């Protein structure tokens, strides 16, 4: 009943442990779809060895690097079963991970996806911290409005409580249009918020997944991170407008809160760059700023002016709508 979609890229050393954990799950009625994004290490050899030993495994290797959202969407679209378990290479999974996820999503009709806190490990695989701590998250169904409005719209630096690994209803993925490629590494954040407009979530209190801390700095300079940061701000704006489209005064408050959060977030990433400074990264940053100057300045102006202009834009739309109604009635 479960299709596991495991996305991987150049992590052959830890991938073996991940695959062993998956095959040792107490819930064994699944297919495992491995989506290799054109790895250049020993990933292909390793995966084919596992395929030869277990008929539940399907291995796909892309001829070119498609990046995370496209790679993940490919696996989901080739999945057979109604529940999709999204897992990452290099992480470790407790034996009852699938069992807990499956129980939660099948016993709660309102739930669209299931997630849990992820343990961050040291070099000896000892858990030293968790990916996300929030005192109000307890085992059970999390109301969609609470998770979207009180957590996603209020977390520092727009961090997501869902670490990217979760079980999702395939039908929900199809309805929402899968993961949007334009958002890159943040495509999953957009999808969780999109899902919360219509579905609740379920939080498993156990730390069912552990993994080493992912390095932030190299990802800052993959593709076009400036646009990714702006897209992260954009998706927050999009979902706030969608959540409060019938409440203009609340939306106005949200815009000012968003402005403060965006300012803090920009400074946070600036500190990350300074902390990890190297001349090579500095040159890469200068190149990115130069190549995206118009885009960055345009978005910055919008970020500053939009909260101030919002009441006037709203009033203009109301007047425009009221003038069009009599014409529509006459027709």
- Which pLDDT score is estimated for 262? 76
Task: Transcribe 72-120 into DSSP letters.
Answer: HHHHHHT--SSEEEEEETT-EE-TTHHHHHHHHHHH-TTEEEEEEEEEE
154 and 207 share one domain: yes
List the CATH number of the domain containing 181: 3.90.550.10
For residues 21 and 96, give the distance between their C-alpha atoms in angstroms, rounded to a whole number.
10
Answer yes or no: is pLDDT of 237 > 70.
yes
For residues 227 and 288, give the distance between their C-alpha atoms in angstroms, rounded to a whole number.
10
For residues 331 and 328, give the distance between their C-alpha atoms in angstroms, rounded to a whole number.
5
Query: Among candidates 235, 224, 164, which has minimal Cα distance to 197?
Result: 235
Query: Among candidates 121, 159, 191, 175, which has minimal Cα distance to 264?
Result: 159
Q: How many domains does the chain have?
A: 2
153 and 43 share one domain: yes
Token couple for 62: 């892309």
9 and 30 share one domain: yes
Domain boundary residue among 182, 213, 244?
213
Whole-prediction pTM: 0.80
Domain boundary residue among 192, 213, 234?
213
For residues 94 and 49, give the distance between their C-alpha atoms in angstroms, rounded to a whole number.
23
52 and 149 share one domain: yes
Q: What is the pLDDT of residues 10-27, one digit of tens each?
A: 999 889 999 999 999 999
- In terms of Cβ atoms closer than 10 Å to its own Cβ (0-12, 13-18, 19+), residue 124 is exposed
199 and 296 share one domain: no
3-class DSSP assignment, residue 90: coil
**pLDDT-based confidence at residue 128 (cuts at 50, 70, 90):** confident
Q: Mean per-residue pLDDT for 154-170?
A: 87
35 and 138 share one domain: yes
269 and 302 share one domain: yes
- Which pLDDT score is estimated for 138? 86
Phi, psi of 285 (to 5 degrees): -65, -45
Answer yes or no: is pLDDT of 191 > 50.
yes
Element (H, E) at 167: strand 166-169
Domain that holds residue 232: 218-330
168 and 285 share one domain: no
Angle (CA) 23-26-30 rounded to 5° is 55
152 and 299 share one domain: no
Token couple for 18: 């991940």
pLDDT mean across residues, the chain = 83
Strand partners, 3: 31, 84
- Contact criterion met (CB below 8 Å) for 169 and 82: yes
Pairing of strands 200-212, 111-121: parallel
207 and 273 share one domain: no
Q: Mean per-residue pLDDT for 102-111?
A: 97
28 and 136 share one domain: yes
- Which pLDDT score is estimated for 233? 78
% the chain with pLDDT above 70: 74
**pLDDT-based confidence at residue 161 (cuts at 50, 70, 90):** confident
262 and 119 share one domain: no
Domain boundary residue among 213, 243, 270?
213
């Amino acid at each position: 009943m479960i299709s596991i979609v495991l996305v991987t890229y150049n992590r052959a050393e830890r991938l073996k442990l991940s695959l062993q954990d998956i095959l040792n799950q107490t819930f064994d009625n699944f297919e495992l779809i491995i989506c290799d994004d054109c790895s250049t290490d020993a990933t292909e050899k390793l995966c084919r060895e596992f395929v030869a030993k277990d008929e539940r495994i399907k291995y796909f290797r892309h001829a070119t690097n498609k990046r995370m959202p496209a790679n993940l969407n490919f696996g989901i679209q080739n999945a057979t079963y109604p529940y999709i378990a999204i897992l990452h290479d290099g992480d470790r999974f407790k034996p009852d991970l699938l069992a807990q996820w499956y129980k939660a999503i099948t016993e709660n009709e309102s739930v669209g996806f299931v997630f849990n806190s992820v343990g961050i490990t040291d070099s000896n695989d000892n858990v030293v911290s968790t990916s996300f701590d929030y005192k109000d998250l307890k085992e059970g169904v999390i109301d969609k409005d609470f998770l979207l409005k009180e957590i996603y719209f209020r977390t520092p630096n727009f961090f997501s409580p869902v670490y990217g690994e979760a079980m999702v209803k395939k039908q929900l993925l199809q309805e929402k249009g899968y993961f949007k490629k334009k958002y890159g590494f943040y495509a999953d954040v957009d999808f969780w918020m999109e899902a919360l407009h219509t579905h609740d979530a379920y939080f498993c209190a156990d730390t069912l997944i552990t993994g080493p801390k992912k390095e932030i700095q190299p990802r800052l300079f993959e593709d076009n991170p400036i646009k990714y940061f702006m897209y992260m701000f954009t998706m927050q704006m999009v979902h706030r407008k969608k959540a409060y489209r019938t409440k203009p005064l609340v939306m106005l408050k949200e815009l000012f809160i968003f402005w403060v959060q965006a300012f803090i977030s920009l400074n946070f990433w600036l500190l990350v760059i300074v902390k990890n400074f190297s001349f090579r990264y500095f040159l890469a940053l200068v190149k990115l700023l130069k190549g995206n100057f118009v885009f960055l300045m345009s978005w910055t102006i919008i970020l500053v002016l939009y909260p101030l202009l919002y009441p006037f834009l709203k009033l203009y739309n109301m007047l425009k709508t009221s003038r069009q109604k009599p014409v529509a009635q006459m027709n």
